[in-house]
Structure 1
């Protein structure tokens, strides 16, 4: 099960994620540990003398070390557990696989923002939103908050569900853990800021590469989930095909455009990141004014995509 996932293990991992979400652990979450390793290596490797080639080189070294460490440590922990008792190895592998997913954690976070918006007002909604997005949330109005939540759900259908399961199926738990490391490096270093313009480039490019297939698969799954919920799959396909390139990311445009298409809403538009305005294009063609129900529908799509990807995975590995 280290490098090849079995159908029972896959079902167990996904079921645990859906039922437990980000349950409190008596020890640091593996992704938190990966984040600490990244912070430590950044402190050690970031060049004192700022120079483009040096920053590119040291950033690439950091990415290589983090990926290698994540793979080796994941393999070693599972292997050690197997040597003690095969069933304990199964449980450790299943646990690590579970930590790679975040369907219920994402759903709860989205509903929390919506609940704050409906019951506590804009300020509390902005605070809740800031916990799950990278953009600046101060000053966002109701419609901008709703759009941001749906965008985040759509993008993370790929990052937090489809991509981890894709790599779990491709190379077992160690490869899925490496994907989470790549995704974490991108979230920590992959910014176009003065500090990370060159140092974080390798992390950003590797994340783009790792998400190339999962993002496109996510778009198709979103359209399929929308069809099961009674939405127009033809419209979803048309909007995804027409607008996916509008997004600044080569990957995120696929799930976001697919979500915009099936829900009949417009996503994107100008945003602010770390105080810098980013003029993002608009994705989709609105059929009705934005409303909270669209967030709830996006969460339904998220769960359906999780189930569909699981069925697909069981079919592949059976």
Structure 2
């Protein structure tokens, strides 16, 4: 299925459906989203395989076994669903719809947009609440610039995690690859952090998530840099900031789209911040840039939309080149 013609056309259809429809709240209030089911599997593994009486090496090994089981279930489920959908009348359209459910471009846009709207409607208090829905930082510690930075960084990072990476793995491995990617990404978000409970058990999830995002993160940074003119930025500056600053981010992947966004908007991003687990002291990306303001959130959204359009155009071009 690697970059096959019909897979790419299905992917293009899924990207269009995600952009137009996104994740309708009315549907997922009545039925759990597939990511919720994946989260329940992760939580079950955390409950039964992450025992405090075990030593760190044993918990690390248990985390790796749990991750392998999670990925195996995701691959098998994705394969069964794909085979079943392809057997239906208009099966490729159903498959595009299924894939669109696991893309999060429109959902990301809507969540970041709510932060922008919250500033206008309710000021900094409302904006703190809105941004707490998309980042793990302590909202009480955020001033206006901190809220704007958090929203913009979330937009940049999730261009990769929510759009480019799942599309990449669908193009490579079809629906099994997409479901497996979402499983790994969900595991990383739930257990792949340095809290005392998950430092050892979540190690495998965090490292594997780094691996599966290695190529998509760099593609996302490139797309954001190329989209800089959508917000009045310059491609060359965004590119230079990305190449220079991506490596100073604590994440081997998030630094690429975030530093590209910093250069595209001429803002300084990242820097010191406070999470529930405590403060994080990091250098700024593009430290010579200005402080973020609420109006910069709208600029970031314009870059995000343009980057998403460039990304979809890439897959459309490959589909046309390969044919049906």
TM-score normalised by L of structure 1: 0.94
Aligned to 2:73: 69
- Please give the secondary structure, in 2, of the residue aligned with 1:120: helix
- Please give the secondary structure, in 2, of the residue aligned with 1:195: coil
- Please give the secondary structure, in 2, of the residue aligned with 1:75: helix
Q: Is residue 100 of structure 1 aligned with residue 102 of structure 2?
A: yes
Which structure 2 residues correspond to residues 1-318 of structure 1 after superposition, within 5 A?
A: 4=4, 5-24=6-25, 25=27, 26-83=30-87, 85-87=88-90, 89-227=91-229, 230-317=232-319, 318=322
- Report if aligned partners of 2:12, 2:315 keep a CA contact under 8 Å in 1: no
Give 1:293 deviation, angstroms.
2.4
User: Which has the larger displacement, 201-210 or 39-48?
Assistant: 39-48
Change beyond 3 A, Cα 1:146–1:229: closer
- Please give the secondary structure, in 2, of the residue aligned with 1:280: coil
Q: Distance in 2 between matches of 1:214 and 1:192?
A: 24
Q: Distance in 2 between matches of 1:284 and 1:62?
A: 39
Give 1:249 deviation, angstroms.
0.2
Change beyond 3 A, Cα 1:137–1:204: same
- Report if aligned partners of 2:193, 2:202 keep a CA contact under 8 Å in 1: yes
Q: Distance in 2 between matches of 1:274 and 1:304?
A: 33
Unaligned stretches of 5+ in structure 2?
none
- Report if aligned partners of 1:100, 1:176 keep a CA contact under 8 Å in 2: yes
- Report if aligned partners of 2:231, 2:300 keep a CA contact under 8 Å in 1: no
Q: Distance in 2 between matches of 1:2 and 1:13?
A: 17
Change beyond 3 A, Cα 1:29–1:117: same
- Please give the secondary structure, in 1, of the residue aligned with 2:184: helix
Number of residue pairs the alignment of both structures matches: 316
- Report if aligned partners of 1:3, 1:173 keep a CA contact under 8 Å in 2: no
- Please give the secondary structure, in 2, of the residue aligned with 1:6: helix
Q: Distance in 2 between matches of 1:279 and 1:208?
A: 21
User: Which has the larger displacement, 131-140 or 20-29?
Assistant: 20-29
- Please give the secondary structure, in 1, of the residue aligned with 2:280: strand
Q: Distance in 1 between matches of 2:194 and 2:208?
A: 15
Q: Which runs of 4+ in 1 moved over 3 A?
A: 1-8, 227-230, 285-289
Residues 207-245 of structure 1, C-alpha deviations (whole Å, 9 max, x = no match): 000111111111111111114554211111111111111
Q: Distance in 1 between matches of 2:3 and 2:313?
A: 19
